[in-house]
Amino acid sequence: MTLSELKIYKTKAEKITCLTAYDASFSKLFDECGVDIILVGDSLGNVIQGGENTLNVSMDDMIYHTKAVARGVDSALLIADMPYQSYTNAEQTLENAKRLIDAGAQMVKFEGGFEHKTSFEILQKNNIPVCGHLGLQPQSVVEMGGYKVQGQDKISAKKILDDALLLESLGVCVLVLECVPAKLAARISNELTIPTIGIGAGINCDGQVLVSYDMLGITQGRLPKFVKNFLADSGDIKAAVNAFIHSVKNQEFPTDQHSY
């Protein structure tokens, strides 16, 4: 999977599939099933380390897991999250992004919009592909007052849209939209030429991502509204992954039940 192929998917309205992975065994299985994008998510702070949020995940954690995941991937596009406080200025962003690329990532992802303009610019100048992340930003969960839907009023919705357009202009290749109203995500997806990947953002994004542990029903605690347990009706993990791919590609997931 290449960036140019992802853009063709968007042009042809073929949905893009993405799952998180944190080790070689899961990444190999997802890759063999045909998942388009594999994300080494800082969600490992929750599902691997048992933390309440992602804020304690370090660069060393991300490099370790990116190396492991990369060993299992042959075909999927591999994206790695930049963890909390690893992109506070342009120079730091470039240094840490290079470390993730050296570890096997083909693209890095970090959260935010205009406030990180210089970081987006320096990566574009150095030809490092970037995936943006707007809406609910888990690394800013404290400032946002918890895990809440974003963009529900005109002012906040306009900011998300403006940031999305800015990120595209700064060379961002893919954009994750998390926990925003489906109508807002649809508008953003229509206005951008780059693919959008939704999580709790409705069916009209160009693709869908889920935390693999959530999708397999093995996450502890209360699950977000946008999660579906694909293992419950599938019988085994490989069948569950194939069911996720089928449901996204055929626009059977997410439903209104999983959207805001």
Report the C-alpha gap between 132 and 169 in whole angstroms.
Answer: 12
3-state secondary structure 115-168: HHHHHHHHHHHCCCCEEEEEECCHHHCCCCCCCCCCCCCHHHHHHHHHHHHHHH
Q: Is 178 a catalytic residue?
A: yes
Pairing between β-strand 77-81 and β-strand 174-178 as defined by DSSP bridges: unpaired
* Single-letter amino acid code for the residue at 114: F
Non-local (6+) Cβ contacts of 220 within 8 A are none
Written as six digits, the tokens of 78 are: 């591999």
Catalytic entry in 32, 52, 178, 252: 178
Output the CA–CA distances (angstroms, integers) from residue 218 to 212, 237, 238, in the order listed.
Answer: 9, 11, 15
- Catalytic residues, which ones? 178
